[in-house]
Amino acid sequence: MNTLADVRPRLPVLAVPLALAAVYLLWGSTYLAIRFALPGYSPFLLGAIRMFLAGALMFAVLRARGATPPTRRQWRTLAVLSIFMVLLSNGFVNLAETQVGSGLAAIAVASMPLFAGVFSMLRGRHPSRIEWLGLVVGFAGVLWLNAGSALTGSMLGLVCLVIAPLAWAWGSVWSRDLDLPAPFMSASAQMLAGSGWMLLAALVSGERFTAAPSLAATSALLYLVVAGSIFGFTAYIWLLHHVRPALATSYAYVNPPIAVLLGALLAGERFTAHDLGAMAVILAGVVIITLARARAMRGSGA
């Protein structure tokens, strides 16, 4: 069997740069795509349709290629996991963007690796001194962002953009100890299960179509399905299997600046020095943690 080291040298020269570009640009652009889709689709219905289409397409392709489907026990686990990884993360970002701009949402979600570090600590993995520094710096940025940005004018946006990265971080850490199918099958099954939770949330909150969605909103939805959920996620999973985790997860501090730039250029969003300063501090904390983990992995020979 080939080891990871055996596989890496035979990769096409542009494979890693193209995969990184996909994760950086596609995931960075999804915040703006959500904003463009929301005028035609309510938040949880948007998530339900997006996740069902993406999950069903991926599941069908994987089964056609002979991938093993989840067992009954795995389906139950994935249904619970999708509450955190789909409903409370993606669904609440959608809901938040009904109140705040796409760039500001991306800045707030950038705190996810900070929460993941805390949850890892609670599960027995104690941070190094450098990681502690990153956590302190990053959370100082989070407090700064929440203290004086547009989030202070929207309690709904503030609550959603605290819960969303918390849920994604907890789901990411918790999933490491679970019996799950292969990564791509797990992703497709989570999206399918999550679409059910999204639909339930839409029904409970009284969401319904009051008019036919515009072509622009539907185009944004299809972009989220194809670019964000299928291509972007596939590129991320591929990176996890071919490069160091620190490089694969570098999207966490690249997506926010891209989202801010796209929001300013294409949607006329405005950002104060306060917003940009808080983003810089949050991302500095994330970078410190990422580099510390990469250094620890090199030291352990992982």
What residue has token string 């290629």? Answer: 65
Mean pLDDT value across the chain? 88
What local confidence, expressed as pLDDT, does residue 246 receive?
67
The residues, any chain, with a CB within 8 Å of residue 294's CB and separated by 6 or more, are 244, 245, 246
Of 286, 280, 238, give the one whose Cα is nearest residue 16: 238
What's this model's pTM, rounded to 2 decimal places? Answer: 0.87
What local confidence, expressed as pLDDT, does residue 6 receive?
44
Return the HEC string of the chain. CCCHHHHHHHCCCCHHHHHHHHHHHHHHHHHHHHHHHCCCCCHHHHHHHHHHHHHHHHHHHHHHCCCCCCCHHHHHHHHHHHHHHHHHHHHHHHHHCCCCCHHHHHHHHCCHHHHHHHHHHHCCCCCCHHHHHHHHHHHHHHHHHHHHCHHHHCHHHHHHHHHHHHHHHHHHHHHHHCCCCCHHHHHHHHHHHHHHHHHHHHHHCCCCCCCCCCHHHHHHHHHHHHHHHHHHHHHHHHHHHHCCHHHHCCHHHHHHHHHHHHHHHHHCCCCCHHHHHHHHHHHHHHHHHHHHHHHHHHHHCC
Positions in the chain whose pLDDT score sits under 70: 1-11, 148-150, 152, 245-246, 297-302
What residue has token string 């929460």? Answer: 115
What local confidence, expressed as pLDDT, does residue 65 receive?
96
What local confidence, expressed as pLDDT, does residue 11 receive?
64
What local confidence, expressed as pLDDT, does residue 300 receive?
59
Return phi, psi of residue 205, to 5°.
-85, 0
What local confidence, expressed as pLDDT, does residue 5 receive?
44
Query: pLDDT (tens digit, 9 = 90+) per residue, 180-196?
Result: 999 899 999 999 999 99
